[in-house]
Amino acid sequence: MSFCAAINCMDGRVQQPVIRFLQARFGVPFVDMITEPGPSLILADRSNAVKVQSILERLAISIHNHAAVGIAVVAHHDCAGNPAPREVQIAHLQEAVRFLKTHSEARPILALWVDETWSVTEIPL
């Protein structure tokens, strides 16, 4: 079995597009979903240590128990957990990826944006 991990918003509208994108991108059948409202903001800001630690613990399970081959951090249009404009959310994504690189054990980490049509785009880092 092959897995990757997605640190994704809890918003149900983004789950299936992200799963399909990551299955194709990493060539895996399974995507471990680690969900929080506005996770890119949580990881970029890091002011809520409990939430950050929870995300990292769940990511560690995906890495160690499922041998996740890659990780994605996701932000999206119309996010209730991070209602910032796209440009600000992209900055949050980039900072979240920088932070996660210290916890990823050399796995690729992607920043993904889901737009108003629920299309997924990989953001260059």
pTM of the entire predicted model: 0.96
103-122 average pLDDT score: 93
Q: Where does 1-85 have alpha helices with state H?
A: 15-26, 39-45, 49-66
What domains sit in the chain, N to C, each tagged with a CATH number?
3-123 (3.40.1050.10)
In this structure, are residues 120 and 18 in contact, taking their beta carbons and an 8 Å threshold? yes
Q: Is the pLDDT of residue 104 over 80?
A: no
Q: Give the CA distances from residue 40 to residues 19, 67, 84, in Å, rounded to whole numbers and listed in that order.
A: 17, 23, 11
Task: Determine which helix (DSSP H) or strand (DSSP E) holds 123, and give its type and residue range.
Answer: strand 120-123
What's the pLDDT tens digit per position in 28-69?
A: 999 999 999 999 999 999 999 999 999 999 999 999 999 999
pLDDT of residue 80: 97
The pair of structure tokens assigned to 54 is: 């929870």
At position 40, the amino acid (one-letter code) is: S
Neighbouring CB atoms inside 10 A of 76's CB total: 25
Q: Is the pLDDT of residue 1 over 80?
A: no
CA distance 11 to 122: 19
For the beta sheet containing 30-36, the strands, ordered from the edge strand earlier in sequence to the opposite edge, are: 30-36, 3-9, 71-76, 109-114, 120-123
